[in-house]
Structure 1
Amino acid sequence: MLGFAAAVLFIIAFLINATSTATSAVFSPMSLLLAGLACLALHLAGVGTKWSVPGRRTRR
Structure 2
Amino acid sequence: MLAIVAAIIFGLGFLLDLLGARIAPGISGTTFMLLGLTLLALHQGGVGTAGVRGGGGWRTRTRR
Please, what TM-score do these two structures have when normalized by structure 1?
0.75
Q: Distance in 2 between matches of 1:19 and 1:33?
A: 15
Residue 3 of structure 1: CA displacement?
A: 0.3
Report the RMSD for the aligned CA atoms in angstroms.
1.6
Partner SS for 1:37: helix
Partner SS for 1:43: helix
Residue 26 of structure 1: CA displacement?
A: 4.3
Runs of 4+ in structure 1 deviating by more than 2 angstroms, as ranges, are: 51-54
Say how many residue pairs are matched. Answer: 54
Unaligned runs of 5+ in 2: 55-64
Identity of aligned residues (%): 35
2:6–2:37 contact (8 Å) kept in structure 1: yes
- Using a 3 Å threshold, how does the CA distance of structure 1 residues 51 and 25 change in structure 2: closer, same or farther? farther
Per the alignment, residue 58 of structure 2 pairs with: none
Tell me which amino acid in the other structure corresponds to 2:33. L
Q: Distance in 2 between matches of 1:25 and 1:51?
A: 39
Which is helix-richer, 1 or 2? Answer: 1
Q: Distance in 2 between matches of 1:42 and 1:22?
A: 26
